[in-house]
Chains A and B, each alone.
Chain A
Amino acid sequence: MLKRRVIPCLDIKNGRVVKGVHFANLRDTGDPVEAARAYDTQGADELCLLDITATTEGRDTFVDVVRRVAGQIFTPLTVGGGVRREADVRRLLGAGADKVAVNSAAVANPLLIRQLADRYGSQCIVVAVDVRQLKPLPGETDPLYEVVIHGGTRSTGLDAVSWCEQAASLGAGEILLTSMDKDGTRDGYDLAITREVSRRVPIPVIASGGVGSLEHLRQGLDPKEGAADAALAASIFHFGLYTIAQAKHYLADHGIPVRPHEAPRGVLITG
Chain B
Amino acid sequence: MPREVILVDSQLGNLDSVEHALIQVGASVIVSSDPDRVATARMVVFPGQGSFGPTTRALVDGAMGAALRMVIERGDPFLGICLGMQLLFEQSDEGGGFDGLKVLPGRVRRFPADMRAGDEPDAARLKIPHMGWSDVQPTGEHFYFAHSYYVETTDPSLVMWWCRYGSVEFPATISRGNVFGCQFHPEKSQWSGLRFLRSFILGGRA
Contacts and interface: CB of A to CB of B under 8 A. Distances in A.
A121 B164 contact: no
Contact of A229 (B132, B165, B185, B198): B132
Interface in A154-197: 173-174
Interface residues of B, number: 45
Nearest to B166: A2
Contacts of B132: 2-5, 45-46, 204, 229-230
Contacts of A151: none
Contact of B16 (A46, A96, A269): A96
Nearest to A119: B50
Contacts of A227: 124
A246 interface: no
Residue in A4, A123, A267 with the greatest tally of chain B CB atoms within 10 Å: A123
Contact of A3 (B124, B127, B134, B164): B134
A199 interface: yes
A94 B49 CA distance: 14
B24 A96 contact: no
Contact of A123 (B50, B165, B192): B50
Interface residues on A, range: 35 or more
Interface in B122-140: 124-125, 127-135
B193 interface: yes
A202 B142 contact: no
B191 A265 contact: yes
B190 A2 contact: no
Interface string B21-51: 1011110000000000000000000000111
A17 to B, nearest CB: 22
A203 interface: yes
A121 B190 contact: no
Contacts of A1: 134-135, 164
A194 to B, nearest CB: 13
A265 B191 CA distance: 7
A210 B19 CA distance: 37
B148 interface: yes
- Label chain B's interface by main secondary structure: mixed
Contacts of A123: 49-50, 129, 131, 146-148
A267 B16 contact: no
Contact of B127 (A43, A46, A124, A203): A203
B63 interface: no
Contact of A124 (B17, B49, B130): B49
B133 A202 contact: no
A223 interface: yes
A247 to B, nearest CB: 14
Nearest to B195: A267
Interface string A77-111: 00000000000000001101010000000000000
A267 B17 contact: no
Contacts of A121: 13, 49-51
Interface stretch (A19-27, A52-60, A256-264): A256-264
Contacts of A2: 130, 132-134, 145, 165
B1 interface: no
A40 B17 CA distance: 15
B117 interface: yes
B14 interface: yes
Interface in B80-130: 113, 117, 124-125, 127-130
25 contacts: A2-B165, A3-B134, A43-B190, A45-B144, A70-B16, A74-B21, A74-B189, A74-B190, A74-B191, A75-B144, A75-B190, A76-B144, A76-B185, A76-B188, A96-B14, A120-B13, A121-B13, A121-B51, A123-B49, A173-B129, A203-B128, A204-B131, A223-B117, A262-B191, A268-B24
Interface of A: 1-5, 40, 43, 45-46, 70-71, 74-76, 93-94, 96, 98, 120-124, 173-174, 198-199, 202-205, 223, 227, 229-230, 259-260, 262, 264-265, 267-271
Which 10 pairs across A and B sit closest by C-beta, in order of nearness?
A: A121-B50, A269-B26, A259-B133, A123-B146, A259-B142, A204-B127, A267-B194, A3-B133, A2-B134, A96-B16
Given A45-B133, A70-B17, A123-B148, 12 more contacts: A43-B190, A74-B193, A94-B14, A121-B49, A123-B50, A123-B146, A199-B125, A202-B128, A204-B127, A262-B192, A267-B25, A269-B25
